[in-house]
Amino acid sequence: MTSTRAAPRIACLAFFSVFGLSACGGGDDAPVLSGPATSIEAAPQRSTCPPALPADASCLTGTDSRGAHYLIAMPADWNRRLVLHAHGGPDLSAPTAERAVEDATRWAIMVKAGYAWAGSTFRQGGVEVRAAAEDTERLRGIFRQHVGRPALTILHGQSWGAGVAAKAAETYTAETVGEKPYDAVLLTAGVLAGGTRSYDFRTDLRVVYQYLCNNHPRPSEPSYALNLGLPAGTTMTQAQLATRVNECLGLNLTSAQRSAEQNAKIDTIVRVIKIPATQIQAHLNWGTFHFQDISGKRTGGASPFGNTGAVYSGSSDDAALNAGVLRYRADAAAYRQFSTDTDPTGRIPVPVLSAKWIADPTAFVELDSHFRSVMQQGGSGDRLVQTFTTAAQSHSYISDPTYPTLLSALVEWVEKGSKPTPAGIAAACPSFEAAFGTGCSFSPAYASPALESRVPARERP
C-alpha cells in the first residue's frame, strides 16, 4: 500500500518518466514548509501544447484548489530552470483556461530557450494583487509536488503582473515559507509604482475628459465622484463608453474627419495627460471599470484615488482647466487598504532585473524611477538592475531576443555572482539574435525620469 506521504513523489516520477526527465523533488529530507505552495493540489493532466511552442515540447494543465487555471510547458531539452509567470491585466471577468493558453503562446520564446514555463490565470477577476501573488506561489508548489524541483526558479511579472511578482517576492521568502522559493525576479513592462501611484493619471484623465466632454456621466444622469470609476451597481459596457467618447472626441474617425473642436480636445488630453491619442479609450476603460472594481469590491465603497493639489499643464488655458476640473481627496482608509495590497515595499531578498520600453504608452517609463526609489528605501537597491529599450512590438511584448538575453543575465547573476550591467546586457543581446531573430534595442545609458515629471504630484493621506 502506498503511503499518502509518498504520493506526490510517485506522481512526479511518473511525470518525469513520461517526459524523459531524470530527477524529482521530495523525499524524506524535504524541509518543513509553509504557505500556499504546501496546499494539497491535484496532479495536472497531460495536454496539447499551444502551436506556438516547440513541436517537441510537452504541456500540463489543471485548475488549482482556489479555481485558478494554469498551464505548465516543458521543453524537450530542459535546462533545469523554471520561469514562473505572473500575467498582466488584471482581468475583471472570471478566469478561463484559455487565458493560460494565451500567456503560454505569448511567452513561447522562454520554452524555445530551454526554460520550463508555468503560468496561472489567478483565481478570480479583479484588481487584487496579493491574491494573485498567492496563486502564483501555489503554482510553484504544484510544479514542485508534481513535476520536480528546478535547479533555479525565476519569477517573471509582466505589466500589472510585475506588481504581482514584486509582491510575491517580498512576501514569500526563505524566512516565511521554509525554503528559498525564487532565485531571481524578472519584471517586464512593469506597473511598478503600486496601485496608489500607478493609476493617478487615470484619475486625471477622468476629470480632464469630463471637463472637456461632460458626458461621463451625462448632465441628465445622476452625478457621482469620478474617482470611483462607476458607482457600485451601475452597469455600462465598454462599447457604451466608446460611444460616449466618440460623440465627444471622434476617436473612431481620422483626424481629417473630426471637427476642429474634437481635434482640439484630443490635443488637450494628449498634452495634459501625456498619453497618445490611440490610448485614450483604453485608459478611460481602466479608469472606469477597474476603478469600479477597486472601490466597489476592494476598498469598501470608497476611493483610494484623489487629485487634490495636482496642477495640470499643457492646455491652451491651464488656469481655466485647473479651476474647472472636479477635485477629489483620496479616502484615507481606502488608500491604506489599497496600498497594503498593491504597493511594493522594496524588500526583495533576491536579484531583480527589469526591462521597460522607453515609449511604453501603458506602463510609463517613469514608474521605474519610483520603483528604484522604493527598492533603495527598502534596502534592496543593490539587488536591482534596470534596463530600457528604444523599440518594442507593443506594451505587451518587446522582442524575441530580449527575453532570453535577460534570463541569461539573471542566471549568470544567480549562479556565478556576476551582477549584470545595462551595458553588458546590451552587448550580449545580439548574440541571441541568430537563434531567436532580430530585435535588440537596449539603451544602456538611459535613465528614467522621476514619476512626478509626468504625473502631477498631489496630496496623499
Sign of CA dihedral 30, 32, 37, 39: positive
Contacts of 373 (CB under 8 A, 6+ apart): none
Which uninterrupted H or E stretch holds 326?
none
- Cα 226 to Cα 272: distance, rounded to the nearest angstrom: 18
> What is the predicted pLDDT for the residue at 33?
87
Q: What's the pLDDT band for 30 if we cut at 50, 70, 90?
A: low
Q: What is the pLDDT of residues 90-107, one digit of tens each?
A: 999 999 999 999 999 999
249 three-state secondary structure: helix
Amino acid at 374: V
- Cα 126 to Cα 67: distance, rounded to the nearest angstrom: 14
> What is the predicted pLDDT for the residue at 28?
46
Radius of gyration of the chain from its Cα atoms, rounded to whole angstroms: 23
Q: What is the pLDDT of residues 306-326, one digit of tens each?
A: 999 999 999 999 999 999 999
Q: What is the pLDDT of residues 423-457, one digit of tens each?
A: 999 999 999 999 999 999 999 999 999 999 999 99
Q: Grid cell 501603458 — which residue?
A: 362
> What is the predicted pLDDT for the residue at 23?
43
Q: What is the pLDDT of residues 179-188, one digit of tens each?
A: 999 999 999 9
- Cα 399 to Cα 365: distance, rounded to the nearest angstrom: 17
Q: What's the pLDDT band for 233 if we cut at 50, 70, 90?
A: confident
How much is the mean pLDDT over the chain?
93
Q: What is the pLDDT of residues 402-418, one digit of tens each?
A: 999 999 999 999 999 99
Q: What's the pLDDT band for 20 if we cut at 50, 70, 90?
A: very low
Phi-psi region of 379 (alpha: psi -120 to 50; beta: other; left: phi over 0): left
pLDDT over 70 at 15, yes or no: no
413 three-state secondary structure: helix
**Mean pLDDT calculated for residue range 367-387:** 98
234 three-state secondary structure: coil
- Cα 158 to Cα 398: distance, rounded to the nearest angstrom: 11
Task: Please name which of 331, 369, 342, 335 lies closest in space to residue 90, comparing C-alpha atoms.
Answer: 342
DSSP 69-84: EEEEEE-TT--SEEEE
**Mean pLDDT calculated for residue range 352-370:** 97
pLDDT over 70 at 24, yes or no: no
Q: What is the pLDDT of residues 122-135, one digit of tens each?
A: 998 889 999 999 99
Task: Please give the grid coordinates belonging to residue 279.
Answer: 490610448
> What is the predicted pLDDT for the residue at 441?
98
pLDDT over 50 at 288, yes or no: yes
Task: Please name which of 303, 296, 291 lies closest in space to residue 329, comparing C-alpha atoms.
Answer: 303
- Cα 256 to Cα 47: distance, rounded to the nearest angstrom: 51
> What is the predicted pLDDT for the residue at 25?
45
> What is the predicted pLDDT for the residue at 293?
95
- Cα 407 to Cα 127: distance, rounded to the nearest angstrom: 28
β-pair type (69-74, 45-47): unpaired
- Cα 39 to Cα 61: distance, rounded to the nearest angstrom: 17
Phi, psi of 357 (to 5 degrees): -70, 125
> What is the predicted pLDDT for the residue at 232?
87
> What is the predicted pLDDT for the residue at 32?
83
- Cα 314 to Cα 212: distance, rounded to the nearest angstrom: 14
Query: 30 burial class (0-12, 13-18, 19+ CB within 10 angstroms)?
Result: middle
Complete domains list, the chain, with CATH: 7-194+344-453 (3.40.50.1820), 196-339 (no CATH)
